[in-house]
Amino acid sequence: MDQLTSFCIEIGEKPFRAKQLLRWIHQFGKADFAEMSDLAKGLREKLAVAAVIESPKATRDHTAADGTRKWLLSVGTGNGIETVFIPEANRGTLCVSSQVGCALACSFCATGKQGFNRNLTVSEIIGQLWWANKVLKAETVSAPVLNDASSAQQHGAEQQIADRSRAVSNVVMMGMGEPLANFENVVTALDLMLNDNAYGLSRRRVTVSTSGLIPAIDRLRERCPVALAVSLHAPNDALRDQLVPINKKYPIQELLAACRRYLVAAPRDFVTFEYVMLDGINDSAAHAYELVKLVRDTPCKFNLIPFNSFPGSGYQRASPGSLRIFRDVLMQAGLIVTIRKTRGDDIAAACGQLAGQVLDKTQRTMHGMTEAAR
């Protein structure tokens, strides 16, 4: 918002024009200044010369059997990012990417296997939400209507169309990349998501997921506290070092302390710990009992994630029996536990499967990435 206000002043306009532009671009999804009817004709002509609004370009568009939608959006030089829309009965959640690839190299994640190219810009991050809202709203307008009782038999198919067309109500920064390694651009995009003149989302409906960059977690608490999810995946440092290499720099006990500090300003009174269930690796009852002891002083809930396979992963999904026993151990200890429903795995849109197109890798080191998050 500050940057847009400065731009308006630079072209000789009053600061309030920034709010008008914000509404036209983000609330109404307009990319043509000529359509911004409450702006003076002279201003619209000036804007057409001084600025351009570019939307992302979708090079692939897939819809899963369950209605999950995945777009591959071009970000230039042969690179592409994946954005996923997950329709549910009472919400529409958009999973947004923050980087082209990822340098943190978590061993069970397809994105980490792709290497790292670069951080996304603010426009590329917020552009994913802009694109999804525009496409989904357009489809909602064109969705068929049930006109008679006989059409009720088609209700399931029609409902799937309606759900798939739902506008975005929730955003999770859980796509490609580590959001907190691209701190300034991600937070600026978050500001737009929360701004009442743009998308007007509540802090409770926007979630940032991190592998555990502690300095950036502290900065996020001060700068823009939204809901926080932490990719935990192990109950001890030895195992987490293997699964989530950033743990070697920011070990578990230090990470949990950062989570407790974060809760002072968070919109929710708990941190969500994401835990991907890997057969024979981290899914035993002993691991669950270890987790119970680990988090006893940290208000939290667990989101258990059945592993979603991808080529070359080297892992298998934990069995239903192991998942059930693991969940029961946590719940019997009084912890809140959910099991994430696998969505979109038939189009490789499920958690951990996003790969996109990552070319011209810079091979930036993990140390460099964590320094950028400070």
pLDDT tens-digit series, residues 37-87: 999 999 999 999 999 998 878 889 888 888 899 999 998 888 889 899 999
pLDDT at 7 over 60: yes
One CATH from 3.30.1380.10, 3.40.630.10, 3.20.20.70, 3.40.50.10490 for 57-372: 3.20.20.70
Beta-strand pair 92-95/57-63:
unpaired
Catalytic site residue 351?
yes
Q: Where are the domains of the chain?
A: 2-50, 57-372
Percent share of the chain, pLDDT over 70: 84
Query: DSSP assignment of 317-370, as one string?
Result: BPPHHHHHHHHHHHHHTT-EEEEPPP-SGGGT-STT----B--S-----HHHHH
Q: Which of 177, 283, 264, 168 is nearest to 221 (CA)?
A: 264
pLDDT bracket for residue 367 (50, 70, 90): very low
What pLDDT score does 24 carry?
94
Active-site position among 82, 124, 178, 274: 82
Q: Model pTM?
A: 0.86
Indicate the average pLDDT of the chain.
86
Region 315-343: mean pLDDT is: 93
- Would you say 128 and 56 are in contact if contact means Cβ atoms under 8 Å apart? yes
Residue bearing the bigger pLDDT, 354 or 284: 284
Region 226-242: mean pLDDT is: 98
CA distances from 353 to 37, 110, 370 (A): 43, 5, 23
Both tokens of 114, joined, read 């792709």
Active-site position among 8, 102, 259, 351: 351
pLDDT bracket for residue 347 (50, 70, 90): low
One CATH from 3.40.50.10490, 3.20.20.70, 3.40.190.10, 1.10.150.530 for 2-50: 1.10.150.530
Both tokens of 166, joined, read 């739902």
Give the pLDDT confidence of 244-261 residue by residue, as tens digits.
Answer: 999 999 999 999 999 999
